[in-house]
Structure 1
Amino acid sequence: MIRYFIRNGISVSVLGMALLLFGLLALFKLPIQLTPDVSAPVISVETRYPGATPEDIEQDIIIEQEQFLKSLPGLEKMTSTASMGSAEIELEFSLGTDQQENIIRVNNALAQVASYPENVDEPSIKTSTASEQPVAWISVRARPDADPPVNVRDAYDYIDDHIKPRFERLPGIASVRGVFGGTPRQMQVMLDPVKLADRGIPISRVREAIRSRNRDVSGGDLDEGKRRFNIRTIGRYETPTEIENTIIDIQDGTQVYLRDVGYARLGHAEMRTFIRQDGEPALAFGPQRERGSNLLVVMDRVQSTIRGLNEGLLSDKDLFLTQVTDSTLYVRNAVDMVRVNLLFGGALALGILMIFLRHTRSTLIVGMAIPLCVIGSFFIINASGRSINVISLAGLAFSIGVVLDASIVVLENIYRHRSMGKDPFEAAYDGTSEVWTAILSSTLTNIVVFTPIITLADEAGQIFRDLAIAIVSANVLALIVSILIIPALAARLLTRMPTTDAPGLKGSFQRLFGLATLAEKIYNGPLRSVLTWLMRGVAQRLALVVALLVLAIACLVVFMPKTEYLPNGNRQAIVGILIPPQGYGLPEISAIGKELERRV
């Protein structure tokens, strides 16, 4: 095979172009994120029960759902949270389980719950959890030049019904948290307890009267001559007046209407959260990314949607969206930093090669291995279902040295055979045939070291799997390039041997401006004496090994860095949390927030 590739330059070109082409195609398809996804498959079940206390939600919803969810296959952990008006259950499954099958099983389990209290919404199943931070927080504010002025908190229903779904439909978005800072509209029935007590009417009777009246009833169909008519009784309320005209009781033959003991109005639910931005009331919601999606692409879609809504639907409502946070800024900076280090490391390696090889063609031959192996590795990373992140890029950066080592070994041996006066093609074949087994054993050693990391299923395995895949793929491609492509390039480019007796600047550079002569003197002088002393006996060699071992341990003790799970990055953001005394109402907390705004 080695002789075939040396003799057939077209095959070498096709192989190199294929590595670059498939690598570049994979590079544009790979999702980009800061770090690999390191958590187990998680499904969140959210059930809303407006107005219910946490105690009622625990008894009426969470306990009922847990009875059927706790027996799901592969379930590792179940965490339930009951809050005012909402219940959330987070289900963490074993690593490697199919998320789509988990969703189907969760849905089937929830369908077995016999019944829920009245006014409970249908449970919603999400692949993201409340503990995950949205890719961005988006605020909704009224335009300052709106005439008449717009109360943004009254736009809650419009944002929830028309704007929020636009983000939920975006590819790569799992769900949207919020809307916060406002309340939905609701029909409210205000009763006078004194009037109810005077007539001896309990609130439960009023409630039952409204429930029995507020519905449409189908009466089937009726044949009349040649025609068939569908019969339907209209009873659902449409205005507050219709509610007030509801008969709630009959006392001494007199009908008692709801308007006799109270009234109905269209209002808003009780405010439990408030949002302020730049001293103005606002609403806020946050899109959450699907696991495995490209964070940068998702953010571009979110920003494009914001621009489109500001120019379209929201401009007619005197509202506008503002992106408050952007989680991609830190990711872009971190990934770009690793990319720059990767390019700088490759350029530095080529510079060192140029200095020591002192031959442009030889440096070019070895340098070809870097783009072929690095870009080709993206194809293997994509085929493994991984992403571009600081871990995988760091693995590629670590592999540059290994990639160059294999190519340098092959090229140096080819150079030695050329120095013996052999034909370039013959020298390429003989030089590669002598060292390919050593390169293979060296590559397999590196692969064996990192392959077990790929098979780890715990959290550490998820973090370092990208590193291991990047290093293994680069090593495999380095083996292919060094024994198939480098010999073919050397046979065609290494036709003239470099000399050190060239006149002028070229000759001085090839002699490293005298450094080569100095290095030769050092080798033939002190270094040779030390090596000769070490070869005299085993005691000298053992003494050197012990000394180096003690020095390594001393350096480890003195310069040992602090230990942490993952390094903490600087996101250049400050988050302040103020916890008011227990029992403070929303108006008092709002006043505290305004005072903080004034001082900050």
Structure 2
Amino acid sequence: MDFIGFSVKNPVKVIVAVILAAMFGLISLWATPVQLTPDVTEPKITVSTTWPGASAQEVEREIIEEQEEQLKSVEGLREFESTSSDSRGEIILKFEVGTDLGEARARVSDKLNQVPEYPEDANEPTITTVNPNENAIAWFILLPIPPSVEDMQAFARTHADTAEALQPFIDEGETPEYTVLAKLAETHPELKLLIKGKNNPALMKKFSEDFIESRFERVPGVANSNVFGGQEEEVRVVVDPAKLAAMQLTISDLRAALQAQNKNTSAGDMWEGKTRNVIRTLGQFRSIEQVENTVIAVRESTPVFVSDVAKVEINYKKPDGLVRQKGINALAINCQQAPETNVLEIMGPPREELDLDNNGEITSFELSEAKSRFGDSLRIAVEEMNNGALKPRGVQLVQVYDQTEYVTSATDLVETNIYLGGFLAVAILLTFLRSPRSVLIIGISIPISIIATFVFVRGFGRSINVISLAGMAFAVGMVVDNAIVVLENIFRHYEESGDPRKAAIKGTQEVWGAVLASTLTTLAVFVPVIFVQGQAGQLFRDISIAISCAVGLSLIVSITVIPTAARYILKDRSDATTPTNENAKKKKRPGIVSRFATAIVDGFIGMLRWMQETRGSFLIRVGVLSAIMIVSLVGAWAIMPETEYLPEGNRNLIFAILIPPPGYNIDKMIEIGESVEPLLAPHWEAKPGSPEAKELDGPMIESFFFVAR
């Protein structure tokens, strides 16, 4: 079948095909996940087990070794590594690329169920498909809600000594950050009354794990959420050794009594008439008094209670980590992205779009409307919690890191380069072809090929990232090659005959074989990369798919859309009285670009003729060729940039990791972190454009926090 003639004779069918390609391409574009870089990490599963109070050696001997004995036979496992530390053990299992993590997780769970037993105080192991130590897409800080402008005005009226310190905030009409007021209270002790009574976020770890962490993990696309810092509540039994010894008791006796009575026991059931009653004995402690009234033993017919030998109180556990944000204690919560998900959809729309009536406040109705419109997301979850359970407690979640800001800026930059590349390609074509109609015909091939490529990107299960967009940026200059070859031949026949229909069919039929050969040579370079396995294949597959599909589509466009467009865009001059081609050439005066190009070509031909006709031309050719090779190699070596696995880019974010000497406790690590805060405080305290900001020896800091663990 003659596709070229069929296309020229059926323009409506070609237009419909172009519209369908553009429509499905746009649908695929909106449905394709967006992320910074391709998923180049091998499939991993992390098994974490906690044993409070145990040393690293005990964790390794009692837990990790038992788990390794069972996990080493998991199907598809390539290698695993384990880490044992105080109170915690972790095993990271690595699988072959392409492994279904859902099935692998089920196999790992089955193997863990075969572990004979765990220590009495050890918690059940948790299985996650994301390494808790890997980068998160978002960080949130739990902070007290600062007082409003009205609160500061009322406080200043009743405490005249603080009016001068609070007046700048009142004049600006903006609520200051809590960290600013906390530092100001160090020099104005009266201000402590203003911020007094707020909940300490560092003492809300249990609430954060039960409420905030679980809410974040319910957002589609969030694989894991972690809470850092803070202290958990506990019922503490403080033993008096003298009283315990006087009663001839030991710590083991006390512990055994508490463990034996702190549990509910099933007592079977009892039938009474038509009903069946389930009987349970309730012994689990629900108050401090129940713990105090627990009987340890009987001495001389007198029961010995816990309150006789110990003091029972509610206190907080020793912190296993701490978070400070701009100089005050806080809690940090992060969120990690699940594989093959869209980071922009996970994060959700910006806060401005959630405020539907643009009044500065987001109501429950607006959140419900936004949730139905955009779906659930992290930003919506934050606003729901800030307006709901967190507000009565006097705390709020503040986002201090958002990966989507860098993702958006990086992808926007590449998209801009695509548009700029397309504009430059059209400008160069217009410069040399000097025919707006011809450039219009060629320009059609660029958007059609690029937009339709997203169908294949989505079909191959890839994502939109800087690598795939870079491939499309490269393809912008490549997709016009086929169109230029076809149109140039059509235009040559058009100048000879003046009939655009005959010129379109004949011109395309003459060169379609050469265009096909050229496209196949390009595909022969990039298509094999699609089948490369391992991390290299994951990294370069996106750029290979983008270029291969775009160039392949450009072949179809050049032999169908280009001749059809030429048929109807070029004017029909077959019946007009026009001068012959030779006379037209004589009357037409070449332009500046043509004269310049002709001069370059003539000069190059003259140089080649001299090199061939001069005596000793062989040595001259060898010398010129050698000089070109040497200059190329030396130039490539001189300008070659440093090599790295993936470019880091400018994320406007700095992560500094300090590894203290072995044996340092949390207090010492906190002391090290606090020593850094005074050096950086001026960078986050200065206001943009202020004299203080101009005097800084570095950039301003929007947010600063450190985690000690």
TM-score (norm 2): 0.79
Label 1:382 to 1:207 Cα distance change in 2 as closer, same or farther (>3 A). same
Once the two structures are superposed, residues 542-580 of structure 1 have per-residue CA deviations (whole angstroms, 9 ceiling, x without a partner) of 665444333322322333333332333222233444455
Once the two structures are superposed, residues 301-326 of structure 1 have per-residue CA deviations (whole angstroms, 9 ceiling, x without a partner) of 21222122112221111110011112
1:567 aligns with 2:615: no
Once the two structures are superposed, residues 175-214 of structure 1 have per-residue CA deviations (whole angstroms, 9 ceiling, x without a partner) of 1022x22122222222112222233322112111111111
Matches within 5 A, 1:34-73: 34-73=36-75
Asked if 1 retains the 8 angstrom alpha-carbon contact of 2:499 and 2:573, the reply is no
1:194 aligns with 2:242: yes
Label 1:522 to 1:594 Cα distance change in 2 as closer, same or farther (>3 A). closer
Per the alignment, in what secondary structure is the counterpart of residue 368 of structure 1? helix
Once the two structures are superposed, residues 368-390 of structure 1 have per-residue CA deviations (whole angstroms, 9 ceiling, x without a partner) of 00000111111111111111111
Label 1:123 to 1:358 Cα distance change in 2 as closer, same or farther (>3 A). same
Alignment match, 2:133: 131
Letter in 2 for 1:558: A
Alignment match, 1:203: 251
Per the alignment, in what secondary structure is the counterpart of residue 23 of structure 2? helix
The equivalent position to 2:628 in structure 1, one of 538, 548, 554, is 548
Alignment match, 1:433: 509
Matches within 5 A, 1:131-210: 131-145=133-147, 148-178=197-227, 180-210=228-258
Shift of 1:130: 2.3
Q: Provide the rounded CA distance (Å) in 1 between the counterparts of 2:106 and 2:608.
A: 70
Asked if 1 retains the 8 angstrom alpha-carbon contact of 2:499 and 2:572, the reply is no
Asked if 2 retains the 8 angstrom alpha-carbon contact of 1:24 and 1:378, the reply is yes
Q: Provide the rounded CA distance (Å) in 1 between the counterparts of 2:600 and 2:668.
A: 80
Asked if 1 retains the 8 angstrom alpha-carbon contact of 2:421 and 2:477, the reply is no
Shift of 1:535: 6.2
Identity score, percent: 40
Alignment match, 1:374: 450
Letter in 2 for 1:564: E
Shift of 1:541: 5.9
Matches within 5 A, 1:523-538: 523=601, 525-533=602-610
Alignment match, 1:240: 288
Asked if 1 retains the 8 angstrom alpha-carbon contact of 2:270 and 2:276, the reply is yes
Asked if 1 retains the 8 angstrom alpha-carbon contact of 2:500 and 2:572, the reply is no
Per the alignment, in what secondary structure is the counterpart of residue 340 of structure 1? helix
Q: Structure 2: which 5+ runs fail to align?
A: 148-194, 349-376, 580-584, 681-709
Matches within 5 A, 1:200-239: 200-225=248-273, 227-239=275-287
Letter in 2 for 1:526: G
Label 1:569 to 1:256 Cα distance change in 2 as closer, same or farther (>3 A). same
Shift of 1:59: 1.7
Q: Provide the rounded CA distance (Å) in 1 between the counterparts of 2:84 and 2:664.
A: 20
Shift of 1:229: 3.1
Label 1:99 to 1:585 Cα distance change in 2 as closer, same or farther (>3 A). closer
Runs of 4+ in structure 1 deviating by more than 6 angstroms, as ranges, are none
Letter in 2 for 1:530: M
Q: Provide the rounded CA distance (Å) in 2 between the counterparts of 1:197 and 1:382.
A: 73
Asked if 1 retains the 8 angstrom alpha-carbon contact of 2:213 and 2:226, the reply is no
Q: Structure 1: which 5+ runs fail to align?
A: 502-506
The equivalent position to 1:263 in structure 2, one of 311, 315, 321, is 311
Q: Pick which of 248-257 and 424-433 moved more.
A: 248-257
Shift of 1:587: 3.5
The root-mean-square deviation of aligned C-alpha atoms, in Å, is 2.4
Q: Provide the rounded CA distance (Å) in 1 between the counterparts of 2:317 and 2:310.
A: 18
Letter in 2 for 1:212: A
Q: Provide the rounded CA distance (Å) in 1 between the counterparts of 2:600 and 2:251.
A: 102
Shift of 1:487: 0.7
Matches within 5 A, 1:369-448: 369-421=445-497, 423-448=499-524
1:77 aligns with 2:79: yes
Per the alignment, in what secondary structure is the counterpart of residue 325 of structure 1? strand
Alignment match, 1:586: 666
Asked if 1 retains the 8 angstrom alpha-carbon contact of 2:320 and 2:666, the reply is yes
Asked if 2 retains the 8 angstrom alpha-carbon contact of 1:511 and 1:517, the reply is no
Q: Provide the rounded CA distance (Å) in 2 between the counterparts of 1:98 and 1:400.
A: 35
1:519 aligns with 2:597: yes
Q: Provide the rounded CA distance (Å) in 1 between the counterparts of 2:631 and 2:296.
A: 92
Once the two structures are superposed, residues 271-308 of structure 1 have per-residue CA deviations (whole angstroms, 9 ceiling, x without a partner) of 12221112222111101110121112212221222122
1:474 aligns with 2:550: yes
Matches within 5 A, 1:443-458: 443-458=519-534
Letter in 1 for 2:278: N
User: What is the aligned residue count?
Assistant: 590
Alignment match, 1:14: 16
Shift of 1:266: 2.1
Letter in 1 for 2:603: P
Asked if 2 retains the 8 angstrom alpha-carbon contact of 1:51 and 1:84, the reply is yes
Q: Pick which of 197-206 and 353-362 moved more.
A: 197-206
Asked if 1 retains the 8 angstrom alpha-carbon contact of 2:432 and 2:593, the reply is no
Q: Pick which of 477-486 and 244-253 moved more.
A: 244-253
Q: Provide the rounded CA distance (Å) in 1 between the counterparts of 2:622 and 2:11.
A: 50
Per the alignment, in what secondary structure is the counterpart of residue 253 of structure 2? helix
Alignment match, 1:504: none
Q: Provide the rounded CA distance (Å) in 2 between the counterparts of 1:223 and 1:53.
A: 51
The equivalent position to 1:312 in structure 2, one of 362, 378, 388, is 388
